[in-house]
Chains A and B, each alone.
Chain A
């Protein structure tokens, strides 16, 4: 039997090293995701049901506010709104959690070697579980409003993989920065708010005057959202051009995020 050997001089490429140790710690990943889901609603009466109720109630509020404005141009506005919200919530919550969990995990990281990217991966995994739970009310809304479920929804695993890659890249980059600068956490919350309004979640893209459409086309979340929404709302596969741009956005995010993370991760325990 080969003994695990740690030699501080023999380091592989930091990213390869991290992926290898992530695999070795898959039990821990599962426990962290279970913990995240359980503790989030631990003290609330309705527990995990909130994961489904939260987007549903947000949707109702937004519906009441915006339906007067956009309903005429968007048939099935509820489905449009809820599919956008579900994906946006996934992105916003999992990137914030990735950043926060690494900073709060200090105690664990001071006691035993665990791959530091595990917290970001667990945050995205938790977000994905929550997203899948939130699809339940979405399907119910579709059935109730008489929207058609098309076979195009079989494309959703691909859309979700792209969304996860994009969120993981952003989460890794942010968490590496947040270890050194605590104010990243607050700045990001503000940025998220602006980013949400710049993403066509509750309005159709064509309400923007042509001179402002670049605001949308420069936003990577637009492509990621469209890949997710087209199979649900329109019942078709996403446009090829949009799909390619979503893949580019996800790849760039992953590369940048993991590069920044790997470069800084050895210094984390000096700062946490």
Chain B
């Protein structure tokens, strides 16, 4: 059920049609029922609407590596969550074909009290794999993560880099059709970062689609064919990696008012 898929045609693996995401926040946050009820009675529960994404349309082909760049709060992580089906869009339609790996982000998803090995079982099970499936993969997982004897020690004793290595090893060893990476490539030493890049490139060749969110423009440029620049929840520019990144850097140096159009060369 979860084996990789070879595509013989060019159907998009991911299709977003006019996606919008609204976060509705109470102007004065309440977490107690009493407060909520009192305000509701006085109809004082006023909301502030915040549109994290506005009218995003996007289509990604199998095997593409797409980078998403933009300032903090531009909606990059929200976009990944929509694709991972973790958030349901307020408006618009999402279609994803194939197995989506857990969003690779720092920290979350591991139980600190459990050992690395137990967390491998847990994470494998999230993707639909049994214990014996994961045992077969254990050797390569150990090799790639380089954790050695630490694999049988609770995760709470790991360093950030070790957690990242384990997370990356699991998410990429269990081969999926869509890999979502949120700022994880910047941790770990140079060696590990190189290993990650090699693995990502191998996956691209076998048809896995990759989305990378990063502030590290150099990494994005190295890994991605196409880059999307998000600003305040809308697509500001989209096109060949080098062009979009150049435009983005340009503007960061001297803010220009107006639209920059970057097209496929």
Contacts and interface: CB of A to CB of B under 8 A. Distances in A.
Interface of A: 1, 3-9, 24-25, 27-28, 30-32, 35, 38-39, 42, 107-114, 181-184, 187, 266, 269-270
Given A3-B5, A8-B93, A269-B87, A111 B121 contact: no
A108 B109 contact: yes
A8 B108 CA distance: 25
B93 A112 contact: no
B89 interface: yes
B191 to A, nearest CB: 26
**Size class of the contact patch on chain B:** 35 or more
Interface stretch (B68-76, B122-130, B226-234, B241-249): B122-130
B87 A7 contact: no
A108 B32 contact: no
A107 B86 CA distance: 11
A92 B139 CA distance: 42
Given A35-B111, A109-B86, A110-B86, A181 B33 contact: yes
Contacts of B32: 181-183
A111 B105 contact: yes
A24 B126 contact: no
A35 B84 contact: no
Nearest to A187: B33
Contacts of B131: 27, 31
Nearest to B94: A8
Nearest to B11: A3
Given A113-B100, A182-B31, A8 B88 contact: yes
Given A38-B114, A42-B113, A184-B33, A6 B107 contact: no
A110 B36 contact: no
Contact of A112 (B86, B87, B98): B86
Contacts of A8: 85, 88-89, 92-95
A197 B130 CA distance: 43
A24 B128 contact: yes
Interface of B: 1, 3, 5, 23-24, 31-34, 36, 81, 84-89, 92-103, 105, 107-109, 111, 113-114, 118, 121-122, 124-131, 177
A200 B23 CA distance: 47
Contact of B3 (A1, A27, A181): A1
B84 A112 contact: yes
Contacts of B109: 107-108, 111-112
Contacts of A187: 33
B5 A1 contact: yes
Contact of B114 (A27, A30, A35, A112): A35
A6 B94 contact: yes
Contacts of A39: 111, 113-114
Contact of B121 (A31, A107, A112): A31
Nearest to B112: A39
A184 to B, nearest CB: 7
B126 A108 contact: yes
B248 to A, nearest CB: 27
Contacts of A107: 107-109
Given A8-B93, A112-B103, A3 B177 contact: yes
19 contacts: A3-B97, A3-B177, A4-B99, A6-B85, A6-B95, A8-B89, A24-B128, A31-B125, A39-B114, A109-B86, A110-B108, A111-B105, A112-B84, A112-B102, A112-B103, A113-B86, A181-B31, A183-B31, A187-B33
A115 B84 CA distance: 13
Contacts of A31: 121-122, 125, 131
B95 A5 contact: yes
Contacts of A28: 122, 125-126, 128
Contacts of B97: 3-5
Nearest to B111: A35
A4 B1 CA distance: 8
Contacts of B103: 110-112
B125 A5 contact: no
A267 to B, nearest CB: 9
A35 B86 contact: no
A35 B114 CA distance: 8
A25 B125 CA distance: 7
Contacts of A25: 125-126, 128
Contact of B93 (A7, A110, A114, A184): A7
A109 B86 CA distance: 7
